[in-house]
Chain A
Amino acid sequence: MDLKKIGSIEAIALILIMTLNSLISDSAQDIIRTMGSASIINIIYCTIIALILFFIIFKLFEKFNREDILEISEFFGGKILKNIIGILFLIYFTFISSIILRNFAEILKVTYFPETSISTILLCFIIVVYIASTFKTASIIKTNLIIIPFTILSIVLIFLATSGDFIYQHMFPLLGYGFEHTFFNGASHIFAFSGLAYLYFFMPNISSSQKATKLGVISIVVSSILLLLSIVSFLFGAPYVSYTEEISATLFIIRSVSFGRFFERPESLFILVWILSVISYLSVTIIVIGSILNKTIGSSNSITLRSFYTPIIFVCSLIPYNLSTVRFLQYNIFKYVSIIMVYIIPLIILILSFLKKRKLEKGVSSA
């Protein structure tokens, strides 16, 4: 990666862009749909689980002195494992970004461009991401830092705009569809913090492993607050989202808000911010993909690799036949794939590598 150091706020922004884009893609609605009135409790519970898992993962990362997940895989299983893990993450990031892009393009098509083909809308995004990918990594990260506050502001504004009509009692019945459903099935909602996956690849660019742990905790807490704001806006302000399925519940709710009688129909402004946010998210994903390709192929020119890879995201986002396929992938596959890739695989690799390292160290000390 053509980047030596990454600042604390920039690193947090990188993780948040993933959370914010899954919020734009209605991950909050998905949580409410499955958890009902227990959504708030469920997210607090999932935040605690994510923090515990994150602590374990990053305590193990600290043993490897700023090495990223691919380097640690290589240490444990050689180049073969490194390439396998690299390819898995490559597929994961391509899959997630394609789904988020396609979902957002479908929202734009239905609301603003009904007569434009989906490929044209997707192409507009891809061209911008392609151009962005030719810039240096630092430029993309700094641009992301500029876009993040506006996207956060959009989530906060939705919360404030709907807060006047809040019916707080929609948080009852407290346990939603039951204890087991809320705390066992609902644990899968730790997928909401999947932005942490970026941190696994930016480890060499963060000054210390301890700092990475601190940044991760801040990112999880901020992501959790944003998620809660979204869930509260839906659950208290538009509880029908738990019974109905909208093209975008977030857009649906904004369409009915106005800021006084002189500032009505604000959704266009929100859409503009979200377009920038999606572009920024795709650009950041392309950086990470470039970094993975760099390490698996062994090339030194990550910018060329990124530019080459951008059209692949375009093609992948065209694969789902229609919105129903996109939603199926988003609700049923995205969640579980994220848990496997962000928590389970890194945890297994780190534990095994740590055991190998300890064994080697013991061997050295006994010799």
Chain B
Amino acid sequence: MKQVIKEYLVIFITLCFCLIYCTGFYSQQYIDDIALVIAMGIEEGEKNILKLSVQIALPSKEVGSSGESGGSSENSTKVLSVECTSIDSGINILNTFISKRINLSHCKAFVFSESIAKKGISEYVYGLINQSQVRPDSNIIISKCSAEYFLKNSKPSLDELSAKYYETAPSSSEYTAYTENIKLMDFFAAINDSFRQPHAILGSVSSNNANSSANSNSSSSYNQYSSNENDSNYVAGQTPVTDGTGIENVGLAVFVDDTLVGELNAIETVCHSIISNKLQTSIISISDPFDTNSTIDLFVKFKNKTKRKVSIVNGSPYIECDVSLNSRILSMNESSKYLDENQLKTISSHVNSYLEYQLESYLYKTAKDFKSDIDNFGKNIVSEFLTINDWEKFDWLNQYQNSFFKVSVDCKVNSGFLLLEV
């Protein structure tokens, strides 16, 4: 009997301990005491090293005054900025300004301005990774305008929760391939990798809304790549969306180590997705081979993953890519005959040469202009080396600029969707 009582007593004491520690009273941090940051902006300061901006969620505004969901997303967040020497000291200053303690555990995006990215952002990335509150799956965005302006203009028009907006916005890459869902941890891993260079999401405020002279912290030096000839040639900040009241993530920012060296427009980002086997689906527009004044829109996805082969020819990397795609025609007019095998073959051949040209241009741009292997070709040649010393001596990341490419595309145009012929 005594033994049974002893066992129950022990179980009781153990449970008491568990309960005490599960309640978490000791942390003394309640939801009302913290200010949840949903996005952080980092850029060069005018009077100090950094200008730190934080977008703080105002939960009471997000659910509406009556407590029902559906409140206006206008003013559901507040952006605060401070000039400071480091991220942590900036947060400290902001903590003294607001009545709540800033908490980064729900921060969904870290926005770096283009100008600071050109000087190198590794110290900020390492600093963020070092913080236990920061989630490694937060997105990393390079803003073509000032980071503060970017945050102030991130007003979701279709989402009620700003945090959800940041979470869902980069996922458009799954059906457009005009951007990529790049996380802080991916960027951190790429900085430390000897196979590849990092890249980040390219973002900006819609050009219709952007007050470029007043708000753009840096004049973009990459505008030569954008033209309005084709819908997929836009970069962030240039899409002609009529509402134009928000941010847009189009294209990619390319880095060498931690320094921004260039940007990719929408079609180049699609090429990147194809080469790096990340494409899910996308829509591309090509000129109509039967009518040079019109275009054909194609819904493309992989038939097989891109086969990549890297070899060393005369001391330079020779990279071969075999791209295999399936596509269906989205556009339709009265002369379309998508049951006609010859017409489909002509379109296929046209698509193949268009994509081969785009892919080769993209690859040469990354190698010759940017000198940055963001497609991770290093992994395709590393098996040729026996030891890490040999690999480090070869210095792939520097060798990549000497690469030459051969791309072959096999894009099979199947048919239209519901309408096959008119």
Give the B-binding residues of A (Cβ under 8 A): 36-37, 110-111, 113-116, 124, 127-128, 131, 134-135, 167, 169-170, 172-178, 238-240, 243-244, 252, 255-256, 258, 264-265
Known: A172-B382, A178-B389. A110 touches B132 (CB 8 A): yes
User: Which residues in A have their C-beta under 8 angstroms from that of B379?
Assistant: 167, 169-170
Tell me the bound Cα distance from A111 to B185 in angstroms: 17
Evaluate contact between B183 and A256: CB separation under 8 angstroms: yes
Tell me the bound Cα distance from A110 to B195 in angstroms: 32
B1: Cβ under 8 A from any A Cβ = no
User: Which residues in B have their C-beta under 8 angstroms from that of A176?
Assistant: 387-388
- Ordered by A's residue number, 24 sampled pairs between the chains whose C-beta atoms are within 8 Å are A36-B388, A37-B388, A113-B26, A124-B21, A131-B10, A131-B14, A169-B379, A169-B383, A170-B195, A170-B379, A172-B385, A173-B383, A173-B386, A173-B388, A174-B386, A177-B387, A178-B389, A239-B189, A239-B192, A240-B188, A240-B193, A244-B192, A252-B136, A255-B135
B380: Cβ under 8 A from any A Cβ = yes
Tell me the bound Cα distance from A258 to B183 in angstroms: 13
Residue of B nearest to A244 (CB): B192
Out of B136, B380, B382, name the residue touching A173 (CB < 8 Å). Answer: B382
Known: A110-B132, A114-B132, A167-B379. A175 touches B17 (CB 8 A): no
- Taking the nearest CB of chain A, how far is it from the CB of B163, in angstroms? 12
User: Which residues in A have their C-beta under 8 angstroms from that of B132?
Assistant: 110-111, 114
B391: Cβ under 8 A from any A Cβ = yes
User: Which residues in B have their C-beta under 8 angstroms from that of A255?
Assistant: 135-137
Evaluate contact between B383 and A115: CB separation under 8 angstroms: no
- Taking the nearest CB of chain B, how far is it from the CB of A142, in angstroms? 14
- Taking the nearest CB of chain B, how far is it from the CB of A258, in angstroms? 7
Residue of B nearest to A128 (CB): B14
Residue of B nearest to A178 (CB): B387
Known: A36-B388, A115-B26. 13 other contacts (CB 8 A): A113-B27, A116-B26, A128-B17, A167-B195, A167-B379, A169-B379, A170-B379, A172-B383, A173-B387, A173-B388, A176-B388, A240-B188, A256-B137
Tell me the bound Cα distance from A238 to B188 in angstroms: 10
User: Which residues in B have their C-beta under 8 angstroms from that of A115?
Assistant: 26-27
Restricting to B387-404, which residues have a CB under 8 Å from any CB of A? Answer: 387-391
Tell me the bound Cα distance from A174 to B391 in angstroms: 11
Residue of B nearest to A257 (CB): B137
Evaluate contact between A124 and B135: CB separation under 8 angstroms: no
- Taking the nearest CB of chain B, how far is it from the CB of A76, in angstroms? 41
